[in-house]
Structure 1
């Protein structure tokens, strides 16, 4: 498989997953505000800041809008084309990557991503403000349909492995960011409420964290007692059966990477294999006591950095284009597909911008 094709499949999958995660976060946040306003006065800016911290660059948002609210955050995370992580940007980039490898994907996959792209062109900020729940449901369902079509129509070859690596790395990264931000905000937000109200607010907020990972029902089937932060953290970080937990996602990404290289627990053929294998082993033997002793923020920051390192090493191993050390070639004879001093090929300049967006 050409590295160009593999990279386009990787980013197509990653951008669809990122758009679906953003839509789910926004949808849950709207519902959270409705639930909280029934029992206490809610500081609206605080509820919206978390979304920016999880999904985007706060400094860039502040320079464009300056205030946090439903309209500004929705505009930035849904419609702003200058934000590479907005829903409209992600779906546009996913469609462009799918179009560039249209001969390698099924026609049903292309039709689905193309239909979603054109649907977004018809949506206006006013329509989203009037009915946010229908809009976010449409984005989530379209993403799930795309993944289901991919599962049903895409051959289980190298391309499939790159699709899986991208999906699960993005999923693990989003879960780690969400837990980190939400835990910090919840632990510092008790002031100003009575004990009963504060307890109710905490329960609703932690339920929202579970809903943001589509994990509330799965969590209740495992933990029958009252919702507790410790149990939620254990489920979202360490559970090996729930498909949106960090542990499950890292294991799935590891399996796909090892299928590509032929690696195993006893041997690693490249740095990506080694790093993902190390992450999977550490998660397998980590307990909540270990996380508490290290500090949740430090632990999650290490996971986020590890996920980023795996993505970078995957890029260097499978996508980056290098030329061997050979005698210099006259400038006029250089081909358009040649590298230059270890840099990537000219046809991959657009993908370099994607790599920068990934390292957000």
Structure 2
């Protein structure tokens, strides 16, 4: 397979998954505010700052908007074309990648990408503000339909494996960001504001805690699956255990890493006791550590530090996938520090953060 085709398949899949996850975060946040409205003050901008922190775009957002609220955050994450991670930008880039390899994908896949792209062009901000539920449901359903069409109309060869690698690396990164930002940084601030309020009570604080943790599960479509495994009350330890370490739920970190590992190893021929390249080594190391990690181990390291380290390791895996399969280079003359190098972007010979490389190529 041509590296150009593999790279376009990879980024087409990654951008679709990113758009779906952004829609999930926004949809759940709107519903979270409705649930909290009767028991606590919901105009706190912290509820909206969290969504920007998940995408690591706070500086760019502050350059464009003066405050955090439903209108500004929705505009930035859905419509703003200056934000490369907005839903509109992601679907546009997914469509461009699909168009560049239209002869390599099925007509049904192209039709689905194209339909969603034109749907987004026809939607207005006012429509989203008036009926966010219908809009975000359309984005999520379109992503599910695209994945189903891909699985059923695209040959399960190397190209399909690159699609799976992209999907599961992106999913792992998004779940880690969601847990880290929304419930390690935001929740303590909310609790402190409740404790300072004269009207706050332990019952209110406990209710907010439960609703917030349910929102985390809903963001991953995991609430029903969680309840089937853990029949007791909503408990943060069990939620983190389920979303990070569970090997059977398709949106947990452990499951996603295993799925990405399987796809990488199918392409290279690596096995449990023999890795072929650096990408296989790094993903195999991560999978092995997750297999033997307990929630107590995560707490002993610190949840924030653990997830930040995981996100950095995902970046390294992505870099190595790029260097191994997509970058135009001669391996024998790569510099000795190639493992630490960021991938070539194709723009004036420069280098940039690997997750933005394809976006810069499209500009």
In 1, Cα distance between equivalents of 2:298 and 2:28: 27
Q: How does 1:245-324 map to 2 (within 5 A)?
A: 245-323=252-330
Q: Measure how far apart 1:183 and its partner are.
A: 2.1
Once the 2 structures are TM-superposed, how far is the Cα of residue 354 of structure 1 from its aligned partner? Answer: 7.3
Give the equivalent residue in structure 1 for 2:19. 19
Counterpart position of 1:190: 191
For 2:264 and 2:92, the matched residues in 1 are separated by 27
- Listed as ranges, the matches of 1:24-39 within 5 Å are 24-39=24-39
User: Which runs of 5 or more residues in structure 2 are unaligned?
Assistant: 195-199, 334-341
Moved over 4 A (4+): 323-326, 342-354
Q: Alpha-carbon deviation of 1:346?
A: 5.6
1:196-235 correspondence to structure 2 within 5 Å: 196-235=203-242
CA distance in 2: counterparts of 1:197 and 1:139, whole angstroms: 34
SS of residue in 2 equivalent to 1:190: helix
Which deviates more from structure 2 when the two are superposed, residues 68-77 or residues 345-354? 345-354
Q: Which runs of 5+ in 1 are unaligned?
A: 327-341
Match of 2:122 in 1: 122
Q: Deviations over 1:5-39 (max 9, x none)?
A: 00000000000000000001100000000000022
Residues 68-89 of structure 1: CA deviation (Å, up to 9, x unaligned) = 0000000000000010000000
Moved more, 158-167 or 36-45: 36-45
- For residue 96 of structure 1, what is the aligned residue in structure 2? 96
| 1:357, distance to aligned residue in structure 2 (A) | 5.9
Equivalent in the alignment of 2:67: 67
- Comparing 26-35 and 41-50, the one that deviates more: 41-50
Count of aligned positions = 344
CA contact (8 A) 1:236 1:244 kept: yes
Offset, 1:353: 8.6
CA contact (8 A) 2:344 2:351 kept: no
C-alpha separation between the residues in 2 aligned to 1:56 and 1:115? Answer: 29
Q: Is the 8 A contact 2:319 2:354 kept in 1?
A: no
TM-score (norm 2): 0.91
Tell me: CA distance 1:260–1:352, structure 2 relative to 1, closer, same or farther (3 Å): farther
Give the 3 Å change call, closer, same or farther, for CA 77–346 of structure 1 in structure 2.
Answer: closer
